[in-house]
Structure 1
Amino acid sequence: MNILLIDDDIVDIKSIQRSISAEHSGYMLTEANTAEQALNLIENDNFDVILLDYMMPKMNGIEMLLELKRRSWLNKMAVVMISNEHSESIILKSIDAGAQDFLLKSEVTAGQLKRALLQAKKRFELEKKLVDSYQQVKELAENDHLTGLYNRYYFGEALQRSIIANRTYRANLAVMQLDLDNFKNINDSFGHDIGNTLLQEMAVRFKGILKQNDLVARIGGDEFAFILTSFSSPLYIERIAQRILTLVTHPVIIEQRHIHVTGSIGIALHPLNGHTAEDLMRYADIAMYRAKQLGKNKACLFEDNMERDFQRKYRIEIGLRHANEHGDLAMHYQPIVDTKTRQVISCEALIRWPNAKIATNPQEFMNIAEESRLINSLGRWIIETAIIEQTTISKKLGYEIIMTINLSPLQLRDHDLPAFIQDCLTKHSSKGENIVFELTETALLESDNSVHHSVSAIKELGCLIALDDFGTGYSSISHLLTFPIDIVKLDKSLLDKVHVLPRYYHILKGLSHMLHQLRISVVAEGVESAQQVAICSELNIERIQGYYFSKPMAQCSLYVTIQDLNKRASNLN
């Protein structure tokens, strides 16, 4: 055992030398008369145990322990404090400062010293194991096992400390939250192993761009958060955010695949936007969702009105969940008329929320349903309710009415959706040929394998597929070729512009001709005047829908309205 004795009393040194020599146990003793001399020896040699005199000139034993701790040397060796003074206070101070044991010099014998040294060394080993175990647990508690970044817990603690420091130095601090756009599609398309590798690569990129005092953490599945300090202007933060977005968009090559992904960033500033860690995290999160709403692959700085918008959306979401669970939603139906016969041949099912406590419209609350993932359960209720109404109204009228049902992009990623539709058709004795599912072009723009699979599977059930909002600016002819489209619904804006810009007449004429060549039926939406009906008839648009014939109506009024429209059509013919 390699022992360092630190003592300035020659008599005490000789006594301890005799006690150690009496054991003949292979102990190696080195003496130091001052703290400075001892520190030099410790720096250049490895000692198992230090015998440290409590009363030393210039630096006493406690101060020596604190210096060893400051230099991180105290966790490398055991320490036994020795003293001529017996005091419980001194003993406790020594133990608290890091000593493993305490001995009175007057009571030191060869056997007692040996036991003290062995016990101190063993106690030190046990303490070291405990410290190492604590460090492992601490690392597990504070670090993300997948990426090696800090986790949400550590990020929150670090943010609290940064805010306190920021108040002291009156500096600036920014919190950024980044979410990878449509990351679920990566996992669904390529598997979770590739998704995990992508996250690991993003972590490496993020760490490489930050300054020494900045911090990045993974706080969720595909969510990262940053603490940025020491900047003079929000413009600097926006530049950093843009650099991070550029890093994200660079393709990642995994298993010879080029994986492309984008991100959305929300930014909150201290003290401009908030004064607590909770507020800054919440505001950065709100700003991030605003960035997604603006089209993704963007960075957005928090503004006060975002909080009001967020609270409104939150209240609508809570109310919508309650309405969905308690049957407070209703379906309305708008007739679609055959252009030649003016007979009602189909209806579009449209959801309504008649008793909403917050004034909202279907477009707003259905967007919120998508963002909150409520759309899957709500969408299934819409599908089944509309299919039930299709069979009910057909029996009343004595002929088959076709029912049109809207599907959102998220519903199309539900692998079980086709099976659910099949169950509804069987359960309610409805035929697939009498059900049309409307898709938006934005859904097809984000298409992946799951969307193609769902559309094809629904088509195999005999159902028809309609492409809605055609001509709104997203139109792509390729969708008509890559998806089994049966019907195209021309957006209301095209028909509205015919009288303002005559060339729109020729655009409509060209679209109608092209679609008929592809054997795709055409429906004109938003028909509100006899003149528009006449234009649709001239252009051979087979079906028309709009307020000219009927507004959307509740189920209880639908049968009477259809009968009335059919009667008027018979009189015209």
Structure 2
Amino acid sequence: MYFDLDGFKGVNDSFGHEIGDAVLMEVCRRSKKILRNGDLISRLGGDEFLILLHNEPNELELFQISERLVGDLNKPFHIQSWEIQIGVSIGIARASDSNFNVSEFVSNADIAMYRSKMAERSSHTIFVPEMMEDNKRRLLIANSIASAIKHDEFSIHYQGKVDADEVVVGYEALIRWRSAALGVVSPAEFIPIAEQSGKILQITKWVIKRVCMEFEQILAVQKNDVVVSLNLSAHDIKNASLVGYIKEMFTLYKIDTKHIEFEVTESAYLENFDAANGFLTQLRQMGCSIALDDFGAGYSSLGYLTQIDLNTLKIDKQFVDNLNVSKRSTLVTKTIIEMAKQLNLKICAEGVETREQADFLLANGCHQLQGYFFAKPVSLEELLKG
């Protein structure tokens, strides 16, 4: 069994390494209580652990041990005066599937663990040989990113945002990849792989430069003060050098920063709170605006909103989808809008796909709407055609 802790990076960032170390020790203590006599647990490094289960446990025993690990490690950790919540992703492999080769054995469990992490927080997955093909594809994608940049396989599509009068007032820049070797690769697939493999910064820099290069043409299409939004990942906002690169591109392409907005997801912001604050403060000082994306889909802790300087709150698509379907979701959406107004924030709802959703959001005070009902993402060439 190969497991790592979901959200542990945020523990070290928020509470310090002393608290983080105490959490790791408590993880070991809780795990050992679940294991049988003869089972071995070791810390591989960081927040990664290996468990060697002896005597070939059957499917039921594996399930019971995994469920108990997930359940016990999901319970809050009380460390000093703090209550800390983490999760765990578990991958399980059998030695026989790797012909008892130790490195392949561990690698198989790691592959299964990655599948758990992609599926949902706090889950467990048993390795099957078919996963090797998925792993090969992940490696191929990760290793193809530099080449894709070099051979100009990426492109930017722009999705319009409209105001209350349904006039286009902005665009979100969305990356697309048409690979010579892999065909069309979805951002939902390659962005997480790029983050995990340390390649996301290359992609972010490419997007920033390309948007700057295309910016004059975009402004020519829209006569009003259109704003173009660019996305930053959790990895980007931890990299202080990226600020210098952004300044360099803005200077090189003579970008008026009042036309630029940076979007960061709620979960990325809160996992790196201090780093995000410092990073985004510098962008605001340049004259850019800041939007908090996917609001309500992550931590949903309201206290931090008083500690950060935002311009826009983006309501997550999951709330928009359930408008007038779920009473609770509808109420939460109305509450988010009202709260944002009280905080003098602009409100943008994403994933708007019906007239009914649009009417509800506008009636309740949304300033901007984004979604297929108004516009799908289109290439610059299509945008210029009108």
Could you state the TM-score of these two structures normalised by the residue count of structure 2? Answer: 0.80
Change (3 A) 1:540 1:308: same
Describe the SS at the equivalent of 2:93: strand
Structure 1 partner of 2:132:
307
1-structure distance, mates of 2:325, 2:14 = 46
Measured against aligned partners, the alpha-carbon deviations of 1:317-351 in whole angstroms (never above 9, x if no partner) come to 333343134321101111222222x4322111010
The answer to whether the 8 Å contact 1:489/1:525 transfers is yes
Structure 2 partner of 1:291:
116
Structure 1 partner of 2:287:
462
Change (3 A) 1:228 1:403: same
Larger CA deviation: 498-507 vs 346-355:
498-507
Structure 2 partner of 1:343:
167
The amino acid across from 1:350 in the alignment is: L
1-structure distance, mates of 2:143, 2:277 = 32
Matches within 5 A, 1:174-253: 176-181=1-6, 184=9, 214-240=39-65, 246=72
Change (3 A) 1:218 1:478: closer
Q: Would you tell me which structure has more strand in proportion to its own residues?
A: 2
Is the aligned partner of 1:382 residue 2:382? no
Structure 2 partner of 1:334:
159
Change (3 A) 1:560 1:475: farther
Structure 1 partner of 2:100:
276
Describe the SS at the equivalent of 2:141: helix
Describe the SS at the equivalent of 1:331: strand
CA drift of 1:417 comes to 3.0
Is the aligned partner of 1:426 residue 2:258? no
Matches within 5 A, 1:484-563: 484-498=309-323, 500=325, 508-530=333-355, 532-561=357-386
2-structure distance, mates of 1:533, 1:236 = 51
CA drift of 1:307 comes to 3.3
The amino acid across from 2:379 in the alignment is: A
Change (3 A) 1:523 1:219: closer
Note the residue ranges of structure 2 that are not aligned, 5 or more in a row: none
Query: Percent identity, aligned pairs only?
Result: 34
2-structure distance, mates of 1:311, 1:524 = 37
Describe the SS at the equivalent of 2:157: strand
CA drift of 1:188 comes to 5.5
CA drift of 1:191 comes to 7.0
The amino acid across from 1:518 in the alignment is: L
CA drift of 1:555 comes to 1.6
2-structure distance, mates of 1:374, 1:465 = 24
CA drift of 1:495 comes to 4.2
- From 172, 176, 181, the counterpart of 1:352: 176
Structure 2 partner of 1:48:
none
Structure 2 partner of 1:406:
231
The answer to whether the 8 Å contact 1:522/1:543 transfers is yes
1-structure distance, mates of 2:79, 2:114 = 28
2-structure distance, mates of 1:253, 1:394 = 53
The amino acid across from 1:179 in the alignment is: D
- From 422, 429, 436, the counterpart of 2:261: 436
2-structure distance, mates of 1:179, 1:495 = 33
2-structure distance, mates of 1:493, 1:257 = 31
Is the aligned partner of 1:366 residue 2:191? yes
The amino acid across from 2:173 in the alignment is: A
The answer to whether the 8 Å contact 1:390/1:401 transfers is no
Q: For this pair of structures, how many residues does the alignment match?
A: 383
Larger CA deviation: 472-481 vs 405-414:
472-481
Describe the SS at the equivalent of 1:353: strand
The amino acid across from 1:481 in the alignment is: T
Note the residue ranges of structure 1 that are not aligned, 5 or more in a row: 1-175, 562-573
The answer to whether the 8 Å contact 1:391/1:429 transfers is no
2-structure distance, mates of 1:257, 1:533 = 42
The amino acid across from 1:301 in the alignment is: I
Structure 2 partner of 1:146:
none
Larger CA deviation: 539-548 vs 400-409:
539-548
2-structure distance, mates of 1:208, 1:529 = 52
Structure 2 partner of 1:481:
306
RMSD: 3.9
The answer to whether the 8 Å contact 2:295/2:314 transfers is yes
Could you state the TM-score of these two structures normalised by the residue count of structure 1? Answer: 0.56
1-structure distance, mates of 2:209, 2:259 = 14
1-structure distance, mates of 2:85, 2:337 = 37
CA drift of 1:464 comes to 1.3
